[in-house]
Structure 1
Amino acid sequence: MDAIDLLLKRVSVPRLQEPAPTAEQLDFMLRAAGRAPDHGQLRPWRFLTITADDRYKLGELFVQGLLSYDPEADEKLIEKTRNLPLRAPMLLVVIATFVEHEKVPAHEQLLTAGCVAHGILLAAHAQGVGAVWRTGSLAENTVIKKGLGLTDNEQIVAYMYLGTPINSLRNPPTLDPAPFLRCWPETNS
């Protein structure tokens, strides 16, 4: 796949099945992700892989997180939350790890970690690996962050669900950039 096709045709793949990415495919994704813009070369990120039966453990941790803010959650929501990690054979948690630096503020480091996550999506797509980036309240929950071993200076950027696409990939619509582009300063003539 050439680079232009990759950039214009990458899509999220929410329906995934076995097999998970191979060790070689994962290594390629992480190497590609490491090419993200990184002011000061701080490398303000790290990853956790979750596979096999550990996905069930993560599901239980998700339930603990849910009950920490919604102790009255009904059984249907609890079961749905428990099964979230089972939607893919591998989860890769992308974590921003903030480094004290006089010239590189935390928000810039968070953007770098976001670019890392995007690089993973692109490298997955280039290899035919299905991937979808998920966050939501489970990425902000302190019970879950503690259970995953995050420190106070870390933030979950993505739960990257990885696997083999169940369906053929959709063709993304062509995005017209014109509505998002303005010249500055704008003139009223």
Structure 2
Amino acid sequence: MTQLNDTTSILSLLKTRKSASAKAMTSPGPTPEQLAEILACAVRVPDHGKLTPWRFILWEGDARAEFGDAMKARWMELHPDHGEGTLEFVKALFLRAPTVLAVISTAAEHPKIPVWEQQMSAGAVCMNILFAATALGIGCQWNSDWVAYDAGIGSVMGLKPHEMVAGVLYFGTPVGPLEDRPRPDPASLLTRWVKA
């Protein structure tokens, strides 16, 4: 059986990385020093034109519950027919983990750098965060949830009109062992180009 999140080498980690589940996390989350280290790794991604087309928003402590109130209020606007159970679930989304971080894509039109390349750079930031947290022994999951796509919640987050949530990352300590999922066979996904 493969050991998940094997940190004995970089290649071992790349081959065995497995997200923790935000639904099954508890304290502690990363220390301030660990979070700084994670973010230092996060920004070591390809960035055509050195645009830094991303930024971060952090929720810790009471900020998670306060943002939960905003999520609940917005959900009530969007789905007035939903009951209290659903509303409380929505309110508690960011309480599932002790630390929540959003990676915000700030991609904008540029004369030389396509927006798509800038957005992919933000995705690479999210992946580096997963690797860095895992290497430090911290449970981490990259999600989006509806909050990544709702303009009303984006306004509460302080997003500018052109900004988008590339990912919501949850950090904490897994409450149980991680279980892997089936992975595709890379060979089945590979084609070799041949001149017609």
Q: TM-score, normalised by structure 2?
A: 0.89
2:187 alignment partner in structure 1: 178
TM superposition shift of 1:134: 1.0
What's the CA shift string for 1:91-138, capped at 9, x where partnerless? 001100124321112111111001000100000000000001111322
1:161 alignment partner in structure 2: 170
2:61 alignment partner in structure 1: 52
Question: What percentage of aligned pairs have identical amino acids?
Answer: 37
Correspondence for 2:43 among 34, 39, 62: 34
Q: Does 1:93 align with 2:102?
A: yes
2:88 alignment partner in structure 1: 79
TM superposition shift of 1:173: 4.8
Measure the CA separation in 2 of the matches of 1:106 and 1:141. 20
1:64 alignment partner in structure 2: 73
Aligned letter for 2:138?
A: V
2:11 alignment partner in structure 1: 4
**Are residues 93 and 4 of structure 1, via their aligned partners in 2, closer, same or farther at CA, if it must alter by over 3 Å?**
same
TM superposition shift of 1:179: 1.4
Check conservation: 1:46, 1:94, Cα contact below 8 A.
yes
Measure the CA separation in 1 of the matches of 2:195 and 2:170. 42
TM superposition shift of 1:16: 1.1
How many corresponding residue pairs? 187
TM superposition shift of 1:170: 3.0
Measure the CA separation in 2 of the matches of 1:126 and 1:105. 32
Q: Does 1:106 align with 2:122?
A: no
CA RMSD in angstroms comes to: 1.6
Q: Does 1:149 align with 2:176?
A: no
What's the CA shift string for 1:58-88, capped at 9, x where partnerless? 1112112322322222211111101111110
Q: TM-score, normalised by structure 1?
A: 0.93
SS of the equivalent of 1:143 reads helix
Structure 2 unmatched runs, 5+: 1-6
What's the CA shift string for 1:9-35, capped at 9, x where partnerless? 111101211111011111111111111
Measure the CA separation in 2 of the matches of 1:97 and 1:110. 8
Map 1:127-146 → 2, pairs under 5 A: 127-146=136-155
Measure the CA separation in 2 of the matches of 1:102 and 1:64. 40
Aligned letter for 1:90?
A: T
Check conservation: 1:16, 1:88, Cα contact below 8 A.
yes
Structure 1 unmatched runs, 5+: none
TM superposition shift of 1:42: 0.6
Correspondence for 1:25 among 23, 31, 34: 34
